[in-house]
Amino acid sequence: MTPNEKDYMDRYIYQVIRRLSKAQRDEVRMELEELISDMYTDKGSMEEVLTELGDPAEFAKQYQGDQRYLIGPEYFDTYLWFVKVVIVCAAIPILLISLINAIGEMPAITAQNSASVIIRAIVDGLITGITDAILSCVSAFGAVTLTFAIMERKKVQFELKKEEKWSLESLSGEGKTPTSRSRWTPKFLEPVPDKKAIISRGDSIVGIIFIVIFSVLLIFAPHFFAAFFTEGETVMTVPIFNLEQWGIVLPVFILSLLIGLADEILRLVVGVYCRLVMISNIVCGVLQIVLSIIVLKVLPIWNPNFVLEIEQALGDHADSGARFLTYWNADMVSNGFLAFIVAITLFEIGVTIYKTLRYGVAVKSN
């Protein structure tokens, strides 16, 4: 077997096993190595062997059986992992937020009732926390499942379209051996992607955790983003965000984060740097920058009375506060954040473009 033929064998096996569940892959790889080298010994030409075996997608279907899936084996492992990460990232912060809220709203403690007040606060916090957490987990589960299901359908449509095109071509070439042109041949085989082109879960996990936790905080606890003061025994807070207008700001904010999440899902599902991942990253990045501009520069995101409220809260401590106040300037903060977001997004797009062009494979979008 020449190195070139061995390469084609590897390409073929890769195209079959990437469509199977992780548990099956190693075993099927060995089986196929055995089969293809046996057939090669028998026939003497790798091209003939692979042509006889036919389209690897069809071969993989035989291994999968004829079941229909909402989310097929090709994506299922990634999907399961993703659901776990998202649910954990949503549930834990929500529980914590509810506990903190409940304890914060606790009535004054006196010596006689301290234990019962604290216990009641914790129980109240846990009850709202668990309710909110269950609701959020259900919606997070739904959003992730929907995204994966759409990708599964799109892939199927793409494969159907490909077949349709082939048969149309063969129709137009009437009379000239209509079958041979629509047949799958080893020429269709893409090279096995470089190890550096593979997108690992580790690359994505930081982004996913950040997006989910930040979303949860923005939805359930926008008042946590605040300036804190201690005045004697009590803690004073002055929110940074404009909570009265939060109903307008939040959806745009969340949309931007969801776009980021969809991009992460697509990267994981495709699993290698390629044109599709690059385009998705660029489109999502640009959308996120546009939405950030809307959130930070157009919408009333900042608490307009922030300076005033701090002054009131500080009261007689105005001296120490005055120094801080000179730094607060809503426009400047907006610009700072925007510059930060644009820089991070452009950096990420840059890395993706570099890796795609350097190591990426020219895989089709299926």
Partner 1 sequence: MGEEKDLLSSLLLELRRGTLTISVLSQMKEPKYGYALVQSLEEKGVAIDPNTLYPLLRRLENQGLLESRWETGGAKPRKYYQRTKYGTEIYEKLKAYWQNLSAGMDRLLREEES
- Binding residues for partner 1, rule: CB under 8 A, are 28, 30-35, 37-39, 42, 52-54, 58-59, 62-63, 65, 167
53 versus 270: smaller Cβ distance to partner 1: 53
**Which structure tokens are listed for 223?**
């008042």
* Nearer of residues 61 and 201 to partner 1, judged by Cβ: 61
Question: Which ranges in the chain belong to alpha helices (H)?
Answer: 3-17, 22-43, 46-53, 56-64, 73-104, 114-172, 178-182, 201-220, 246-270, 275-293, 306-314, 318-325, 330-359
CB of 3 to partner 1, least distance (A): 17
Place of tokens 């199977």: 20
We find the least distance from the C-beta atom of residue 170 to partner 1, in angstroms, to be 10
Q: Which is nearer to partner 1, 175 or 202 (CB)?
A: 175
Angle subtended by helix axes 275-293 and 246-270, to nearest 10: 170
CA distance 128 to 125: 5
How far is the C-alpha of 14 from the C-alpha of 191, rounded, in Å?
Answer: 9
- How far is Cα 360 from Cα 335, in angstroms, rounded to an integer? 35
Of the pair 38, 190, the CB lying nearest partner 1 is at 38
Whose tokens are 């999968």? That residue is 64
**Between 31 and 311, CB nearer to partner 1:** 31
In angstroms, give the least distance from the CB of 97 to partner 1.
47
Work out how close the CB of 64 gets to partner 1 at its nearest, in angstroms, rounded to a whole number. 8
* Beta carbons of 306 and 244 less than 8 angstroms apart: no
Q: Which is nearer to partner 1, 33 or 244 (CB)?
A: 33
Q: Which is nearer to partner 1, 56 or 285 (CB)?
A: 56
End-to-end CA distance of the chain: 30
Q: Which amino acid is at 281?
A: N
> Nearest distance from residue 53's CB to partner 1, in Å?
5
- Strand pairing partners for 274? 361
Tell me if 257 sits within 8 A of 211, measured CB to CB: yes
- Report the nearest approach of partner 1 to the CB of residue 158 (Å): 21
User: How far is C-alpha 135 from the geometric centre of its chain's CA atoms?
Assistant: 20
- Which residues, including other chains, have CB under 8 Å from residue 118's CB and lie 6 or more apart? 103, 106, 109
CB of 125 to partner 1, least distance (A): 49
Q: Is 62 helix (H, G, I), strand (E, B) or coil?
A: helix
Beta carbon of residue 91, minimum distance to partner 1 (angstroms, whole number): 36
- Smallest gap from Cβ 363 to partner 1, in A, equals 22
Quick one: tokens of 267?
């990267």
| Alpha-carbon dihedral sign for residues 364, 5, 180, 66 | negative
Taking the least distance from each CB to partner 1, the nearer of 35 and 290 is 35
Q: Which is nearer to partner 1, 174 or 319 (CB)?
A: 174
The answer to whether 39 and 178 are in contact (CB under 8 A) is no
